[in-house]
Structure 1
Amino acid sequence: MKNQPIRFHKLHGAGNDFVIIDNRSDGKHARFDGKNAVLIRRICDRHFGVGADGLMLISEDTDSDFQLEYYNADGFPGEMCGNGARCAVWLAHLLGVTGRQCKFIVWGENYEAEVLENQQVRLKMNPPTFSAERQNLQSLCDNRFPEMGWLNTGVPHLVVKSAENLAALDVRKFGAYFRYHPKFEPEGVNVNFVVPESEHQLNVRVYERGVENETLACGTGAVACAIYAAQQWQWQSPVRVNAVGGVLQIAFDPDFQQIYLTGPVATVFEGELNELYFHNNAVVNK
């Protein structure tokens, strides 16, 4: 194996953090193999690697500004990541790949985004989908979680209204319970615990599938929460989502055909991956 360093960028969107690699075939960069799940898992490990909620690869595309591959921290592909895509758009803009407005592809799905002022990126989301067989979730409700709903905003999400203060909620315990519940097999589900702060404003904590833990924010989850509030509580656009790591704003039309996710992005640091190190050093199982 060639021990050629691979350049990477560490970014976060409202605390949702990612390792992003410029994987264009321009001869300036060592190419990264996205099929190596073990290597991705080791890079995302917060003790033995760089540490991240996921890893992304930016590469060329003939029909758009760039192509984006997203991998969860477990090393396997994730269908979509809203905050990750916003971070990738920001980095692509900094690298000169795109202007302020861009079009890109994530696993064959088309997206559009715009870099705004004050390090904000607005991402146009695809319309959500719903499942009739997963709409009757009353059997999962109780005094602690009086209502909930399932929808797919690029990845499957469960929005759970909490009767408890979110600060005291054991998100890892209850998140894992719902994430692996037979009702949501075989793919599982991301779990968003919500408490309305005021009209058009939600407090949210999220347990992410593929990370298998709480993350500080989730873009597709924030969109799911906003749409749920619009459907169940007749909230109007826009909806402000207060995540642990920052604020996300979701704007939408009445039919949910035009949905925009806006929030902050930031570059944390840049560096080089020594691929040989990650191959030679195992990660302790969590």
Structure 2
Amino acid sequence: MAEIPFFKMHGAGNDFILIDNREGHFSGREQAVFARLCSRPLGLGADGLLLIEPGSEVDFVLRYYNADGRPAEMCGNGARCGVWAAHRLGLCGRQARFRVFDRIYQARLEGPARVRLALGRASQVFSPDQLQAVASVHPRLTPLGVWNTGVPHLVLHSQVPLEEINVQALAPRYRYHEQFNPAGVNVNFVVAQRKGVLRVRVYERGVERETLSCGTGAVACALAAHQAWGWPAPIHVVSEGGTLEVSFTGSGGETALTGPVQLVCRGWLNSEVGSPEPGE
């Protein structure tokens, strides 16, 4: 019976299962299996899952899946954890060049538990002026724009203290808003703690709940603060899970995400993990 190596990690509280898939244990089409592994009552529990695989012209390939088992284009904190795991597996040195979907990224380990990820150029999908229908959802939440930082993120400036926001009840009204059909959007609630420091709560699509942090969301929030208030880089984004540092060159320039990563445990999955549950 084959044993499949895995790591359980988190990046600033955003947690992941990372599977060494160099021997091709998974094809990537096992949506129900990945969802079950990410389930907190039924599996290992995680916000997402990554397959680490060999690649040509890069050190390795990462394939990312949300907690619902569906593939997603990118995950900043997941990729940072993936770089650390790939380094531990001997796939790269302290500098890494890797592929996610059709894009190549670069990253480096800046210490035993800190990774800097170059995310490339972000794009603004919707400006605040294009979000009038979204602005009507809540009178004290002002849209600062939607940014694609690998995946799309709506940034909302809150006049309500973050701890008073019922994220699970309110965020789906934005996540599924008709303006963002059909794929929907991730939702970030932000307040300025002081110049250069944001406090954030985030609801992630595919996880369909609040997570302790989100890397691509942190970059979107920093870019929104730069555009709205003229803040220079770096900007620190504080969430319940920890603090991430976002660097950028202008509102449409190169971006980078730096922050902590932490190994929770490593082990082996039984090959029977891919067998269907009764009724599946």
1:84 equivalenced with 2:78 (yes/no): yes
Aligned-residue offset at 1:135:
4.9
More strand by share: 2
Aligned-residue offset at 1:133:
8.1
Aligned-residue offset at 1:118:
4.6
Aligned-residue offset at 1:257:
2.3
Equivalents in 2 of 1:283, 1:70: separation in Å?
26
Counterpart of 1:232 in 2: which secondary structure? helix
Residue number among 111, 118, 123 corresponding to 2:117 in the alignment: 123
On the 8 A contact 1:67/1:106 being kept in 2, the answer is yes
Instruction: Between 271-280 and 6-15, report the one with greater CA deviation.
Output: 271-280
Gaps of 5+ in 1: none
4+ residue segments displaced more than 6 Å: none
Q: Give the share of equivalent positions with the same residue, in percent.
A: 47
Q: 1:17 to 1:47 in 2, by over 3 A?
A: same
On the 8 A contact 1:126/1:154 being kept in 2, the answer is no
- Post-superposition CA distance 1:229-281 (Å, at most 9, x none): 01111110000000110000001112532211000001101122234256354
Equivalents in 2 of 1:119, 1:132: separation in Å?
35
Equivalents in 1 of 2:81, 2:129: separation in Å?
32
Counterpart of 1:191 in 2: which secondary structure? strand
Aligned-residue offset at 1:224:
0.1
Residue number among 176, 179, 183 corresponding to 1:183 in the alignment: 179
Give the structure 2 partner of residue 38 of structure 1.
32
Normalising by structure 2, report the TM-score. 0.94
The letter of the residue matching 2:7 is H
Counterpart of 1:231 in 2: which secondary structure? helix
The letter of the residue matching 1:41 is A
Q: Aligned runs of 1:173-212 on 2, under 5 Å?
A: 173-212=169-208
Give the structure 1 partner of residue 166 of structure 2.
170
Gaps of 5+ in 2: none
On the 8 A contact 1:67/1:105 being kept in 2, the answer is yes
Aligned-residue offset at 1:7:
1.7
Aligned residues: 278
- Post-superposition CA distance 1:136-175 (Å, at most 9, x none): 1123224321333111110010001111111121111111
Equivalents in 2 of 1:49, 1:135: separation in Å?
43
State the Cα RMSD in Å.
1.8
Give the structure 1 partner of residue 243 of structure 2.
247
On the 8 A contact 1:42/1:282 being kept in 2, the answer is no
Normalising by structure 1, report the TM-score. 0.92
Aligned-residue offset at 1:283:
10
Counterpart of 1:227 in 2: which secondary structure? helix
On the 8 A contact 1:23/1:58 being kept in 2, the answer is yes
Aligned-residue offset at 1:134:
7.8
1:215 equivalenced with 2:211 (yes/no): yes
Equivalents in 2 of 1:157, 1:117: separation in Å?
29
Give the structure 2 partner of residue 140 of structure 1.
134
Aligned-residue offset at 1:282:
6.0
Residue number among 124, 145, 155 corresponding to 1:149 in the alignment: 145
On the 8 A contact 2:212/2:241 being kept in 1, the answer is yes
Equivalents in 1 of 2:227, 2:207: separation in Å?
28
Instruction: Between 143-152 and 112-121, report the one with greater CA deviation.
Output: 143-152
- Post-superposition CA distance 1:106-150 (Å, at most 9, x none): 001010000012511000012112235885112322432133311
Residue number among 147, 155, 161 corresponding to 1:159 in the alignment: 155
